[in-house]
Structure 1
Amino acid sequence: MRILLIGANGEIGKILNPALSKNHEIISAGRNSGDFKIDLSDSNSIEKLFEEVKNIDSCICVAGDCYTGDLHSLDEEKLNIGIKNKLLGQVNLVLIGQKYLNDNGSFILTSGKMGDKPVKNNISKAIVNGGINSFVLSASLELERGIRINAISPAKISDIPAEDLINAYAKGIEENINGEIIKVNY
């Protein structure tokens, strides 16, 4: 399978890239590194990436910034960090990428535990992760050409065995599931 991995040099990407490359061809993309550059907050950058990278079977996104802080420090500007980058960035990957992805391809987005089980000082992450999960559930009902979409919702990465994380993403791309929120080590 030919997989576009966005955020390949980030915390999750560094775990997934070598593991998935054993059985798949990985094309890496990121803000500052990778085979291709992408700015998730810019739909033109997303479109350019899909125009440059051809014949993609799966698009995995493990990138996206989000503000961490308490309710009293949160304002529209800080909230928009996660909304524009992580939430809208991943939504736009699907909205734009669905035109380019191969038939029967898949999108794997990344949300996180805060969407289901928020903790103090993470309101922005709760909003963004919940939004990603809701998007996956609803988009799975409408994607065409056999394209599937799932989200991986991990707990704190440092608390997850690497193998559990790898298996969750592999399940999303290799199994015929659609509209699933795959929770990892809640």
Structure 2
Amino acid sequence: MKALVIGSKGTIGKAVTQLLKEKGAEVIEVSRSGDPALDITDNSGMDAFFAKLGAVDVIVSAAGDAAFTALNKVTDNDIQLSVNSKLLGQVNVVRKGVRHLRPGGVVVITGGILAYTPIPQTSLIAMVNAGLEGFARAVALELTEDRRVAVVHPAWVAETASKIGMDPSPWPDAQKTATAYWEAIEGKINGEPVFVKGYEPGKK
């Protein structure tokens, strides 16, 4: 299995990369500051990257930013960041990357549980996460030769929660979160959302 992990230096991306390697995959690790570098908001750069990529079995996107802010403080820049980075950035990963998927391959993108269970100040994050799920459901209807697409909706990750001053104890760590990506990769899921086991919507 040959896999591309975009956002491989992030908390989730690192864990997904490690798990894929443990499963015996050959992993191409890319990030905005890596070598090779890839910024999913840069269309021309993405075109150049994928032109050199060749064929792969798996593409995982654990990249994309969205603004965490109260509605009465949302700026045009916050909206553009959220749409251009986490939403359109990953839409373009699928659009451009699927051409390089071998038959039976899968693209896995990253949404988030806030699409289902938002909290205050997460309207933009919930918006793009929900948009990614709708996109994946529709794209799944167009893929051929057993190619698939899936969207993983992680819960808060313990390491990230700790960094922003939240209590990390209720949340799965990055290693457990990575298992949801593996479920999307090894299974038959196409267009459907995938959740970390035990952290599905409605569970506490």
CA distance in 1, matches of 2:76, 2:134: 21
2:114·2:125 contact (CA, 8 Å) conserved in 1? yes
CA distance in 1, matches of 2:19, 2:77: 37
**2:189 aligned with 1:177, yes or no?**
yes
Deviations 1:109-138 (A, max 9, x none): 000011111110111101110111111111
The amino acid across from 1:100 in the alignment is: H
Which residue of 1 is the match for residue 80 of structure 2?
80
CA distance in 2, matches of 1:67, 1:56: 32
Percent pairwise identity: 30
CA distance in 2, matches of 1:144, 1:73: 44
CA distance in 1, matches of 2:178, 2:86: 21
Deviations 1:73-110 (A, max 9, x none): 11222111011011001101111112222122100000
State the 1:6 CA deviation. Answer: 0.2
TM-score (ref. length: structure 2): 0.86
The structure with more radius of gyration:
2
CA distance in 2, matches of 1:11, 1:177: 24
TM-score (ref. length: structure 1): 0.94
CA distance in 2, matches of 1:174, 1:44: 31
- Identify which range, 153-162 or 129-138, moves more after superposition: 153-162
State the 1:162 CA deviation. Answer: 3.9
CA distance in 1, matches of 2:13, 2:178: 10
The number of equivalent residue pairs is 185
Which residue of 1 is the match for residue 28 of structure 2?
27
**2:92 aligned with 1:92, yes or no?**
yes
Which residue of 2 is the match for residue 67 of structure 1?
67
Q: RMSD value over aligned CA atoms?
A: 1.3
CA distance in 1, matches of 2:67, 2:115: 14
State the 1:163 CA deviation. Answer: 4.4
State the 1:144 CA deviation. Answer: 2.1
Long gaps (5+) in structure 2: 159-170
Which residue of 2 is the match for residue 127 of structure 1?
127
